A = this chain, B = another copy of it.
Amino acid sequence: MKVLVTVMPKAGVLDPQGKAIGHALEGLGFAGVGEVRAGKVIELELAETDAAKAKQAAEEMARKLLANTVIESFRVEIA
């Protein structure tokens, strides 16, 4: 079962990568670009076939390794 974990900086946390992308887009001539936030996405292929259990396992992985929950929030989707 394929699971997607999306990790984003929490609201209010400084996101220099997002800021840099925003400036670069402006420099390339793209108008009307407001806030830009950059995060990561991890695609996991799990042996688990039960969707609820797979989601639970991925949330545990996110809490323990994939996300720094002090400054990042995450969400888990079954793909």
Number of interface residues of A (CB under 8 A): 32
Do residues A45 and B40 form an inter-chain contact, with CB atoms below 8 A? no
How many of these chains are in the complex?
2
List, in ascending order, chain B residues with CB within 8 A of A39's CB: 40-43
Beyond A28-B65, A33-B46, 19 additional contacts (C-beta under 8 Å) are A8-B41, A21-B42, A21-B65, A21-B66, A24-B65, A25-B65, A30-B60, A32-B46, A32-B47, A32-B48, A33-B61, A34-B44, A34-B45, A36-B42, A36-B45, A37-B43, A39-B40, A39-B43, A40-B40
A64/B28 in contact, CB under 8 A: yes
Kindly list chain B residues whose C-beta atoms are within 8 Å of the C-beta of A43.
8, 18, 35-39
